[in-house]
Structure 1
Amino acid sequence: MNGDGPEPKRHWRKHFLPLESNPDVFTELIHKLGMSDSLSFQDVYSLDDPELLALIPRPAHALVLVFPTTRAYEKRVVDEDARLTEYVGCGDGEGVVFFKQTINNACGLYAILHGICNGSARALMGDEALMASLLKACTPLKPDERGLALEDSKELEEAYASVASKGDTAPPENPEVDVDYHYICFVKSQQNGHLYQMDGMRKRPLDLGPLSTEEDVLSDACLRVIRDMIASEQGANLGFNLMALVSE
């Protein structure tokens, strides 16, 4: 079973070492991509305890969720995607900038890219940043071309490789071995104010509906989606971990 997404069989041209679900590792990578030093990732320790949620600086720019994949999850995604049309958006009019995942075991990277290229974090991207250059080049491109542009970026690969082996857990020796967990991102679009679930392994971004001006991704509308994902596992999958992208 391929833990990096819902498709059990897929041929990849490029393989990365998977990222550890570690706020320090994720924070180091976004800084290498040229995001403001004021940005960081923090663990979210509860989905419903007001006191623990109050520890997270607001507004939260994006959420990154990691979870072990199961056959039930993969079947559910395949069934849901069968009812969706393939995403074909491009250009400055997109509700969100969507990157199709074309690199094996790099779902953590794609979650980060979706988090920093959309929502309020994008305003904290330096003009000379590596990510600013990539975003400028990728925005006009169709999804398949956009995916290849990221895949072919040596600068992005070098930035990623510099942090991929860090963390508390040793990465697999062979990057071609699939891992049994997956990252997705939740972000509030600055174009239309809607909440989106972003997963480069899916057919398209999932529009989860509008948020009010005052609401961010730590609002109950988003946390309810995550609670439902956990509940759908019926206690069989307790390996969920959530990180928030915040300004300090």
Structure 2
Amino acid sequence: MTEETKGRWIPLESNPETFNFWATKAGLVASQARFVDIYGLDEELLAYVPKPVKAVVLLFPIDDEGEARRKEEDGRIAREGQPKIDPSIFWLKQTISNACGTIGLIHSLVNSDVVFAPTSPLQQFVFQCQDKTPEERAEILATTNLFTDIHAESANTGQSAPNVDTDLHFTCFVQAPDADIRKAARGEDLSEDVKGDKVSSGMRLIELDGRRAGPVDQGECKDLLTDVANFVKARYLSSSTSVFFSLMALTTAPEE
């Protein structure tokens, strides 16, 4: 990476070929999981996505309305907190321009129960990031030449010419246990207001975006694919006329 491109990567193209290439290079055991296209958000089209789905990656256009909504949500989180967020969720801050594809890949893979080679780059990265802050994790990513190379190779697998000037951004959705359930499983005491019937027995829909202040709890999650589809329709598509949206699912279903 030259001084001119330092801190600014070529954007990844939103297609399974590119994401699967990156994941395999980073150490994913290819027979265990893969990314596939989500062709639409209607129930009939969602039915074609192989199950189970472990993560969903969304590419969306950045616009003024979305940015205002993001700032409002971040302000609410700063005031009220997110008591149901599972503290074991792996998240890192995005400090490299156009690295949102790689960060979306890391967030989706590390927060899923997919299999990596023990000495793979991603497994080593997770090991290095233990007990590190999101900003320190970002620095490790930025200074790991192997990840820079994997990203560059992956960007060149796309079907269109790379463009370093883009207003498109990747975010990732996973599901995680309600923090109260995690506490109960460890035998920890719960406060009076979350005991008994007030303790959720389900999962949470977690959005992982490196531009945010941290993981964002987007509510209860009963079915990851369906809940992400409903969220994207309500949050993104309802207020946009852009055609520059795409979604991919990380699935552990075997290829037919």
TM-score when normalising by structure 1: 0.81
Once the two structures are superposed, residues 132-160 of structure 1 have per-residue CA deviations (whole angstroms, 9 ceiling, x without a partner) of 00001112101211111111111111111
Question: For the structure 1 residues 231 and 155, does the alpha-carbon distance in structure 2 shift closer, same or farther, using more than 3 Å as the test?
Answer: closer
206, 212, 219: which one pairs with 1:209?
219
Aligned to 2:244: 239
CA distance in 2, matches of 1:21, 1:13: 23
153, 159, 163: which one pairs with 2:154?
163
Provide the secondary structure at the position in 2 that maps to 1:46: coil
Larger Rg: 2
Aligned to 2:23: 30
Once the two structures are superposed, residues 151-200 of structure 1 have per-residue CA deviations (whole angstroms, 9 ceiling, x without a partner) of 1111111111111122111012xx4xx31111100011268542201100
39, 49, 59: which one pairs with 2:52?
59
Aligned to 1:83: 76
41, 53, 64: which one pairs with 1:71?
64
CA distance in 2, matches of 1:16, 1:139: 25
228, 231, 245: which one pairs with 1:222?
228
1:145 pairs with 2:139: no
TM superposition shift of 1:84: 2.7
1:48 pairs with 2:42: yes
**Matched residues, number:** 219
Aligned to 1:101: 94
CA distance in 1, matches of 2:154, 2:12: 8
169, 184, 187: which one pairs with 2:174?
187
Which amino acid in structure 1 is aligned with residue 41 of structure 2? L
Q: Percent identity?
A: 32
Provide the secondary structure at the position in 1 that maps to 2:236: helix
Which amino acid in structure 2 is aligned with residue 144 of structure 1? E
Tell me how large the CA RMSD over aligned residues is: 2.1
CA distance in 2, matches of 1:169, 1:229: 28
Unaligned runs of 5+ in 1: 1-11, 87-92
